[in-house]
Amino acid sequence: MMLRFATPALLGLTLTAAPVAALDLDALNDTERAAFGEQVRSYLLENPEVLLEAFQILEQRQAEAEAMADQQLVAANADEIFDDGFSWVGGNPEGDVTVVEFMDYRCGYCRRAVPEVAQLLEMDDNIRFVIKEFPILGDASMMSSRFAVATKQVAGDAAYKQVHDALMEFGGEIGDVALRRLAEGLGLDPEPILARMDSDEVTEEIAQTHALAQRLQISGTPSFVMGDQLMRGYMTADQMLDIVEAIRAERE
């Protein structure tokens, strides 16, 4: 094994006083190898910042590798992410940057993200926003998503957005009675929506989104896709806006 040193400090770890360009560790005997190891240990104990610098570089390389892998995942699934043909689209439908959110109605951080997304769309009127129904937190999550998707299929986009917002604020137990009252409070007829909830059409939409999330290695909510970037976790409006502006700058 040939070990090359790039700095005078590391060159000092060699066992002779004469300048050495490279050290062949395999050529060392046991005594020399032990002495060399002790020299390395002493140097690191006297200069622990070297280890911190190494860990920082390792973390940076890992983050870059993960970001590159996410970009490849987004590129491979772009059509389903940005234009699946059934997910609700808001903001500016003709916007130059699309923000996609995978959400769950029982997720506390998804609820915290609601005003942040609203603020983002107020600050920038050229963003296309897509909601992905991704229920992963139990039966109440699934029932809520089924109700929301059924509303969209039965009553259209505007009714879906009303129900979506109401479910994000709802604090009680989810059940047929609660959902019926929620729909009635919004001026919607609950019967056709409730009848649609367990249909194959609703099941298929949610299943497709789950399959997409699995391919994207998304296991938590909220998760966002912006441009070619996949961001897992809660984000503020300012953080999202910074990414949107960076995406635009890269296109120029």
Last residue of a domain, one of 47, 76, 105: 76
pLDDT tens digits along 186-217: 999 999 999 999 999 999 999 999 999 999 99
Same domain, 121 and 96: yes
Query: Is the link from the previous residue into 190 a cis peptide, with omega within 30 of 0?
Result: no
For the whole model, what pTM was predicted?
Answer: 0.76
Same domain, 241 and 147: yes
Same domain, 234 and 134: yes
Last residue of a domain, one of 76, 101, 117: 76
Last residue of a domain, one of 27, 54, 76: 76
pLDDT of the residue at 9: 42
- In terms of Cβ atoms closer than 10 Å to its own Cβ (0-12, 13-18, 19+), residue 88 is middle
Cα–Cα dist 122/91, whole Å: 9
pLDDT of the residue at 3: 44
Same domain, 55 and 120: no
Same domain, 140 and 239: yes
Same domain, 152 and 244: yes
Domain housing 122: 78-251
> Domains in the chain: how many in total?
2
Output the average pLDDT for the chain. Answer: 89
Describe the chain by its helix, strand, coil percentages, rounded to 5.
Answer: 60, 15, 25
Give Cβ neighbours of residue 106 (< 8 Å, ≥ 6 apart).
135, 137, 138, 140, 141, 144
Same domain, 70 and 88: no
Positive or negative, the CA dihedral 29, 31, 34, 39 is: negative
pLDDT tens digits along 77-131: 999 999 999 999 999 999 999 999 999 999 999 999 999 999 999 999 999 999 9
Same domain, 216 and 128: yes
Write down the number of H helices and E strands in the chain: 11, 7
22: pLDDT confidence band, cut at 50, 70 and 90?
A: low
Amino acid at 43: Y
Residue 5 has pLDDT above 50, yes or no: no
Q: Per-residue b/e over 59-78, b at no fewer than 16 CB within 10 Å?
A: eeeeeeeeeeebeebbeebe
Q: Which percentage of the chain shows pLDDT scores above 90?
A: 71
